[in-house]
Chain A
Amino acid sequence: MLSRMSPLKNPIVFLPSRPPTAVYPDRYQAAHYREQEFPPTATDRERIFYINLEGGFFSPAALMEMILPLGQAVRGGAYGSAALVVVSSDNGTIEFLEALAQKHELPIFLSNSPAAPLSEARPIGALTTAEMQTYGLIRTAGGQVTSSRLADLAGIEGNAAGNRLGALTQKGYLHRVPRSRREGDAFVDLLSAAEQAGAATSDFKPVPAASDEFSIPEDLREAMREVASIDGSLPREVLLRAWREFVDQHREVLDVESKEVRRMLKENDREGLAAYASRRNRERARQATARLKR
């Protein structure tokens, strides 16, 4: 019987991240966020990247830009030993992520709420039925097994158990800890291990939005998500509706800005108008340059 003590040498590093509540029509904006939050640096510490998408309205291109390179890097080992958890309760987003993970063989764990335990995040991607069953058994067993333990649990030969564990490790869903022949290598579900160690917390600190960023209030976000899930809207339609709702809800603020803009138009103050329009240009320039460094 495998000891309940974690075979990991160091505590798992839990890296929660939540994009600011906003509309993301631009994939470069998503790429910039991803590059800032998750620079591809490998360490000898096991890590969990936890991206909470709640509150963001992503175009399909932006969502793909946010998740695909990260999933590929996790699978390819660019981050060392890491697991990627994505949180979303939006049905459209979930289906999109499932298709993306399947097509590109991304080892992603999907959670439908930031309040849900890590061990309830379900694996998506290119998993066979047998691999799904194996993963379920590992979770049931506390998140860590040896091949002989799995053979007992699944009622299969030791070689077959080893093959299944090897496949799950290779695909990026399990972390393998080499140990002595007597003990046998341990195969660890990083999510279960982090939860047991109390490493995970949902106490996020979202990156603050720029003061003039196009953002969407939380209550409106909830309403928009409900609408999307009820009527099966396309993300583009949801995005457009979010835009409309946002502008409608901020009419008073925009009215104040409008007064100044109309004054400049009347006075033919073109420099002033250009300055008003270019308030976010330095940030936009930073984003444009960042994508050249991909």
Chain B
Amino acid sequence: MVNSTPPHRCHRGSCICDRYDLRITERCLVADLGFESNTTFADARAHPIVHAFENQRASEPIGTRTVGPAAGDLTVYRLGHGHDHRGATWHDEAENVVWLCAYGLHRSGEDDDAFPYFDELIRDGILLPTEDDYAALFDDRDQRFADTLYTDAQECLSRARSNPGVEEIAILGGEQSTAVVVNVVDTLEEIYVAFSVAHIDTSRLVMILGAFDVDAQFLDWELVDTFPTRTLRVDEQEICYRILHG
């Protein structure tokens, strides 16, 4: 379940910020920070560098100094805390994640200094997230979506029913912006649900419509060309479904 521990919500391996998630790669979590691989982000906050990661990267996904040379969208940035805690973070813009990729103590001139260690990880090609890291990210997001989808949809629908003809907007499952309008004519209730299909597949579509009406078959929903309060946003690949309740 999503908890609301301030200052940011944590869910499984993620700290959820406005525009992206903060995550820790499994290699960093286990090898550098000494946690078990299934440690949640909330629990990992006990480590000073994770605390600093959240404080510094929650509002700004990149730092000012790089680890190694700048590498375009693969540039890795330094994270510092106190005198000697150092981290390496990477902003994964494609997946909307900032990863904490490595951690070490800054011991200038010594063999175990953090920065030569980071350079070594880059050279060996093991600094950035792995396939398992991404699979865990996607699984966590799906679980997050599943955890709150129904409640989010029903709350939005309830608001729309309280304000017929007015567009209500909700973020379903923490990720899917959705607009809802309810029109009532005599004893008929018409529900319009509009959302972008730019980044979803058909499983999300089925889940979203199901969450608005668990008794209606998929075939009961009609794909329509118009939304009652405005034109559909073609640029965002927005589509609209309508269902009629007698």
Question: Residues of A at under 8 Å CB distance from B?
Answer: 25-26, 28, 212, 214, 236-237, 239-240, 243-244, 247-248, 250-252, 254-255, 257-259, 261-262, 265-266, 268, 270-271, 273-274, 276-282, 284-286, 288-289, 291-292
| Assembly CA distance A28 to B237 (angstroms) | 18
Inter-chain contacts of B199 with A (CB < 8 A)? 25-26
Inter-chain contacts of B74 with A (CB < 8 A)? 292
Complex contact A236–B235 (CB within 8 A): yes
Say how far A268's CB is from chain B's closest CB, in angstroms: 8
Say how far A261's CB is from chain B's closest CB, in angstroms: 5
| Assembly CA distance A129 to B229 (angstroms) | 54
Say how far A151's CB is from chain B's closest CB, in angstroms: 46
| Assembly CA distance A292 to B133 (angstroms) | 13
- Interface of chain B, main secondary structure: helix
| Assembly CA distance A271 to B145 (angstroms) | 11
| Assembly CA distance A285 to B201 (angstroms) | 15
Inter-chain contacts of B211 with A (CB < 8 A)? 265
Inter-chain contacts of A271 with B (CB < 8 A)? 143, 146
Complex contact A273–B138 (CB within 8 A): no
Complex contact A292–B223 (CB within 8 A): no
Complex contact B207–A276 (CB within 8 A): yes
Say how far B175's CB is from chain A's closest CB, in angstroms: 11
Q: Nearest chain-B residue to A233 (Cβ)?
A: B234
In the A-B complex, the 10 residue pairs with the smallest Cβ-Cβ separation, listed nearest first, are A273-B146, A258-B218, A285-B134, A255-B218, A285-B135, A277-B142, A281-B138, A274-B146, A278-B142, A274-B143
Q: Nearest chain-B residue to A214 (Cβ)?
A: B201
Complex contact A278–B139 (CB within 8 A): yes
Q: Nearest chain-A residue to B237 (Cβ)?
A: A240
Which residue, of A239, A252, A258, has the highest number of chain B Cβ atoms within 10 A? A258
10 pairs, CB–CB < 8 Å, chain A vs chain B: A236-B234, A240-B239, A255-B217, A261-B207, A270-B147, A274-B145, A277-B146, A285-B137, A288-B95, A288-B131
Check: B188 CB closer than 8 A to any chain A CB.
Answer: no
- Interface of chain A, main secondary structure: helix
Q: Nearest chain-A residue to B207 (Cβ)?
A: A261
Complex contact A280–B206 (CB within 8 A): no
| Assembly CA distance A203 to B94 (angstroms) | 36
Residues 202-244 of B, flagged 1 when their CB comes within 8 A of A and 0 if not, give 1111110111001101110001000000000011010100000
Q: Other CB < 8 Å A-B pairs besides A25-B237, A244-B239, A285-B133, 4 of them?
A: A251-B219, A271-B146, A273-B149, A286-B131
Complex contact B134–A289 (CB within 8 A): yes
Complex contact B130–A281 (CB within 8 A): no
Say how far B122's CB is from chain A's closest CB, in angstroms: 12
| Assembly CA distance A172 to B61 (angstroms) | 41
Say how far B159's CB is from chain A's closest CB, in angstroms: 19
Say how far B9's CB is from chain A's closest CB, in angstroms: 17
| Assembly CA distance A276 to B173 (angstroms) | 15
Complex contact A259–B134 (CB within 8 A): no
Complex contact B146–A270 (CB within 8 A): yes
Inter-chain contacts of B77 with A (CB < 8 A)? none
Check: B104 CB closer than 8 A to any chain A CB.
Answer: no
Which residue, of B138, B215, B219, B223, has the highest number of chain A Cβ atoms within 10 A? B138
Complex contact A270–B143 (CB within 8 A): yes
Residues 123-151 of B, flagged 1 when their CB comes within 8 A of A and 0 if not, give 00000111111110111001101110110
